[in-house]
Amino acid sequence: MLSTIAGYVAIAVENARLYQSLEQKALQIERLKDFSENIVESLRIGVVTVDLDDCVESWNPQLEDLLEIPRSEALRRKLADVLPRDLAGEISAQAASDHVSGIYRFHLNTRSNRHLVVNASIAPLLAKNGARLGRLVLLDDITQRVRLEDQMVQTEKLTSLGLLAAGVAHEVNTPLAVISNYIQMLAKQIPEDDPRQKTIERIVKQTFRASEIVNNLLNFSRTGGTEPVEVDLNSVLEETLTLVQHPLKTAQVNVVRSYAERLPVILGSTTRLQQVFLNLFMNARDAMPGGGMLEVRTGARNGSVEIEVTDTGAGIPAEHLHRIFDPFFTTKATGRGTGLGLSVSYGIIKEHAGKVDVRSTPGKGTSFRLEFPVARKAVHA
């Protein structure tokens, strides 16, 4: 009897041991699951997994923020119904691949019409025995990076153009001065009522125009110069508006001012900043041939002074937007525009450690936003 009972007891003990080890294994698996889920949840990259039918199985919080689609809405739906259609199309085109594949710099719009640029990596999800379970898609938001890269390329391009322009301008300046001197001497040698005086006058006028262009080119590339002083941008804007009051009125442009009270001062040169604003105002006027509204706004934020010059003019087509700061880029008729206004302004803004940003909607208008660092108060011991 004892040996019979001993057999049952042995089995019971063995079962209890097995049960305990099973429980431990389950706990370990649970922990492992939590661990990997925590990693996926805290990643700064959007992660989505889909099964073999392309139905969404997981959707991490970063993806909720990125695409503005909550997890509850995305789960168990087809990938093509939740991701932007063309992105889903590109992803499913790579469905057969056994390797990790990538889509670079994909442009998409979110629900609230935010424009994003993403890199996507697509990897097959495989079981231990190599069987396919589905796919893993990683979406990395590179919008900010792309913007900074574009800005860097633009700055580098303008710096090298500036150096080139300065070189050419120096070379051209001397012969131009010589021509100008000789032609003035010639004008004195010929009697005043001589009909050739008219031709000479034309040459003088054109040489002046040429030297104005050369001076602008030199301004574009010049850095430093006069000692910076404290500048109140509200008054510089107001003085510049007074200067252009007449041409604006003639063009039926209505000026709306919204200046911030007690704007902090910045360090710089009043005359050079005036040149920037003058260019912006005159460009705004030229963009509104039938009249319109020019709004000048100032404000202070995070240690910077902001100026926004907005017009209700023709706007700038997207394909021109990245060229408007290039020297000699103009869409105006010959004789009306030199294409140097904005490139000179860009040089001046950089000289003042400032930034400039343009937004434009063709047919609606353009807005130039400038930002300059506030002058730091000297610390008295």
Q: What is the binding site for ligand ADP (CB under 6 A)?
A: 279, 283-284, 287, 311, 313-316, 324, 329-332, 337-343, 366
To the nearest whole angstrom, how small is the minimum distance from the Cβ of residue 346 to ligand ADP? 9
Considering the complex, state which of residue 221 and residue 283 has its C-beta at the smaller distance from ligand ADP: 283
Rounded distance, CA 355 to CA 357, Å? Answer: 7
Query: 91 vs 314, which CB is nearer to ligand ADP?
Result: 314
Contact 268, 228 (CB under 8 A): yes
Q: Calculate the alpha carbon distances from 52 to 77, 79, 84, 129, 132 in Å.
A: 13, 11, 20, 16, 8
Cα–Cα dist 55/137, whole Å: 12
The tokens for 114 are: 């935010």
**Closest to ligand ADP by CB, 110 or 330:** 330
> From CA 381, how far away is CA 378, in angstroms rounded?
10
Report the nearest approach of ligand ADP to the CB of residue 222 (Å): 17
- With tokens 């730091």, the residue in question is 376
Which of residues 63 and 213 has its CB atom nearest to ligand ADP in the complex?
213
Of the candidates 242, 158, 172, 160, the residue with the CA atom closest to the CA atom of residue 212? 172
**In the bound complex, which residue of the shown chain has the CB atom lying closest to ligand ADP?**
341
CB of 364 to ligand ADP, least distance (A): 11
Query: Shortest Cβ distance from residue 369 to ligand ADP (Å)?
Result: 12
| Pairing of the two strands 292-301 and 253-258 | parallel
Residues in CB range of 79: below 8 A, 6 or more apart: 48, 50, 54, 55, 56, 88, 91, 92, 137
Query: In this complex, which beta carbon is closest to ligand ADP, that of residue 298 or of residue 338?
Result: 338
CB half-sphere exposure, 279, CA atoms < 13 A: 23
The token pair that represents 257 in the structure block: 């001012």
Looking at beta carbons only, is 141 or 286 nearer to ligand ADP? 286
The CB-of-155 to ligand ADP minimum distance in angstroms stands at: 17
Check: CB of residue 345 under 8 Å from CB of residue 352: no
Q: Coil, strand or helix: which one is 243? A: helix
Smallest separation (angstroms) from ligand ADP to the CB of 252: 16
CB of 339 to ligand ADP, least distance (A): 4
CB of 214 or CB of 342, closer to ligand ADP:
342
